[in-house]
Copies of this chain bind each other. A is one copy, B any other.
Amino acid sequence: MAKNIKPRKEDYAQWYLDVIKAAQLADYSPVRGCMVIRPEGYAIWEAIQRDLDRRFKDTGHVNAYFPLLIPQSFLTKEAQHVEGFAMECAIVTHSKLEKDPTMPGRLRPASPLEEPLIIRPTSETMIGHMYAEWVQSYRDLPILINQWANVMRWEMRTRLFLRTSEFLWQEGHTAHETAQEAQEETLRMLDVYADFAQQLLAIPVIKGIKTDSEKFPGADTTYCIEALMQDGKALQAGTSHNLGQNFSKAFDIKYLGRDNTLQYAYTTSWGVSTRLIGAMIMAHSDDDGLVLPPRAAPIVCAIIPVYKGDQERSVVLGFIDQLVQKLVGTEEFSSAQQRTTGEIKQYFFNPITHQRIVVDTRDTRPGDKQYHWEQRGIPFRIEVGPRDVAAGAALLKRRIDRAKETVPLETFTPEWFKSKLDEVHQQMFEKALAFQIHNTRDASTYEQMKQILEKQGGFVRCWFLPDPDTEARIKAETKATVRCIPLNQPGGEGTCVYSGKPTQTQVLFAQAY
């Protein structure tokens, strides 16, 4: 067992931080609540970006960039929006530092701004303002724009990736001619998120609608994907909002319609953030550290030579050279030299995603190397010693379940290894799906629901009559909230778990991150 990682059963919150630290994914920074995303963590974000960006472009979207700072007055234009966001933001009030005459060597803010500026907590207001300038006629619609950006929401209790004051995200903002087109777009992007979560991160999610008390401030309807973590808590992994005409009325996004009358556009917004990295860690990792889903792994295989003395060393490394060439091709093998600094050799297995295979030739014990790559969640390790060379084979170890197999040298090809990675992806997804199904329990009374939440956690599925006051009471008593009204409803009518009244709505309750 890894000494630097607390087991999940003993202290799940500490386990999560230990996994991140051991894999060097992120660090707290000297600025309260803000994190540093280290290279191994940022590479996961790059995999997320690459995959989502392709999906956005395949569905007709383009990227753009809007200012970081938003005039304070913009926030007050949409009534619900200001309540939701104004209270937790970073405010720029000065545009200069000057030497402090009272404290030598110190600086102080100078040149106060006429109107304070807010670091964007989200960009509906700024983008609404610009769309109002860009849209004149129905011919200017739809606008299908996405932005990759940093945002800030001042948080008191932070947790790496899951809740930080600054985080990275994408925010899609679209404007349409009709309510129906806006609704189709909202659902299209929800589907994009759900498929992405499954295909890249191997995380099964439930698609649903938020109740009024949980929806985005300013939205008509908020759709979400919800995932279940290993401690039985739910995590909202992405949201897609149908904003109706709320923002177009607040920011005057009007167009001359086909019937020659002025109309307000219908808008949507949708986003996912670096919080997905937290979801990925908590969905798959184990007491030995990180477990990476192969398609999001910056390094897909670590090769570890095992030898004693110079002669064995040269035989083993020579064999590894052959093996690597079979996996990455001779061209990549020979051009990889310039990328290698230090004693960990780097080869691109996939030149488009930059996913790498490494050969760890450091002068440390093979056991330490195993441990090093295991904690970093690398999907496969390959061990090669003199006996393997003699047998013309290598030992392949799988991170997810520690399965081992001896693989003859001639078997190593890019296609073969890609299929091994796909197998692991499928295995991880099925394991997470089985966990989700196993931890979704039905309750027909509030007592039953409370017992499940207390003893087992997970999702509680029940008939419910959504109502903000009732939801607040349930949250106060159980810490659980309605995670969503799943799109997949059984139909018919049931009895509300809390009020006993008839309802046609089934919901999922859970405690959540």
Chain A interfacial positions (CB closer than 8 Å to B):
27, 29-31, 34-39, 41-43, 45-46, 57-60, 62-76, 82, 86-98, 105-109, 116-119, 126, 129-130, 133, 139, 142, 144-145, 149-150, 152, 154, 166, 168, 338-342, 346, 352, 354
Contact A60 B352 (CB under 8 A): no
Contacts of A58 in B (CB 8 A): 338-339
Separation in Å of the A160 CB from the closest CB of chain B?
13
Contacts of A74 in B (CB 8 A): 30
Known A39-B145, A69-B166: A90·B90 in contact at CB below 8 Å: no
Roughly how many angstroms separate A37 CA and B27 CA in the complex, as a whole number? Answer: 31
Contacts of A126 in B (CB 8 A): 29-30
Contact B92 A96 (CB under 8 A): no
Known A82-B107, A91-B95, A107-B72: A67·B130 in contact at CB below 8 Å: no
Separation in Å of the A99 CB from the closest CB of chain B?
9
16 interchain pairs, CB-CB under 8 A:
A30-B71, A30-B129, A36-B65, A37-B64, A39-B64, A42-B62, A43-B63, A68-B166, A76-B105, A82-B107, A88-B96, A89-B96, A92-B119, A93-B94, A149-B150, A150-B150
Roughly how many angstroms separate A66 CA and B41 CA in the complex, as a whole number? Answer: 12
Closest 3 CB pairs of A and B: A39-B62, A34-B67, A37-B65
Contacts of A106 in B (CB 8 A): 73, 76
Contact A57 B354 (CB under 8 A): yes
Q: A29-B126, A36-B67, A72-B107 are in contact. List 20 more A-B contacts (CB 8 A).
A: A30-B71, A30-B129, A31-B67, A57-B354, A59-B338, A60-B338, A60-B340, A65-B168, A68-B119, A69-B90, A90-B92, A90-B94, A90-B95, A90-B117, A91-B93, A91-B97, A91-B109, A92-B93, A119-B119, A139-B342
Contacts of A154 in B (CB 8 A): 95-96
Contacts of A88 in B (CB 8 A): 95-96
Separation in Å of the A52 CB from the closest CB of chain B?
13
Contact A86 B97 (CB under 8 A): yes
Roughly how many angstroms separate A119 CA and B36 CA in the complex, as a whole number? Answer: 15
Contact B39 A63 (CB under 8 A): yes
Contacts of A150 in B (CB 8 A): 68, 149-150
A339 contacts which of B57, B64, B119 (Cβ < 8 Å)? Answer: B57
Contacts of A108 in B (CB 8 A): 116
Contacts of A354 in B (CB 8 A): 57
Known A64-B39, A107-B75, A338-B59: A87·B97 in contact at CB below 8 Å: yes
Contact A64 B36 (CB under 8 A): yes
Separation in Å of the A89 CB from the closest CB of chain B?
6
Known A29-B130, A31-B67, A60-B339: A96·B87 in contact at CB below 8 Å: yes
A31 contacts which of B37, B42, B71, B97 (Cβ < 8 Å)? Answer: B71
Contact B95 A341 (CB under 8 A): no
Contacts of A82 in B (CB 8 A): 107
A91 contacts which of B92, B133, B149 (Cβ < 8 Å)? Answer: B92
Roughly how many angstroms separate A99 CA and B129 CA in the complex, as a whole number? Answer: 23
Separation in Å of the A168 CB from the closest CB of chain B?
6
Roughly how many angstroms separate A27 CA and B149 CA in the complex, as a whole number? Answer: 18
Contacts of A142 in B (CB 8 A): 341-342
Roughly how many angstroms separate A250 CA and B250 CA in the complex, as a whole number? Answer: 49
Roughly how many angstroms separate A105 CA and B72 CA in the complex, as a whole number? Answer: 12
Separation in Å of the A118 CB from the closest CB of chain B?
7
Separation in Å of the A349 CB from the closest CB of chain B?
13
Roughly how many angstroms separate A90 CA and B113 CA in the complex, as a whole number? Answer: 10
Roughly how many angstroms separate A109 CA and B339 CA in the complex, as a whole number? Answer: 49
Contacts of A37 in B (CB 8 A): 64-65
Separation in Å of the A300 CB from the closest CB of chain B?
15
A34 contacts which of B69, B90, B342 (Cβ < 8 Å)? Answer: B69
Known A90-B92, A96-B154, A118-B97: A107·B76 in contact at CB below 8 Å: yes
Contacts of A118 in B (CB 8 A): 97
Roughly how many angstroms separate A37 CA and B92 CA in the complex, as a whole number? Answer: 22
Separation in Å of the A137 CB from the closest CB of chain B?
12
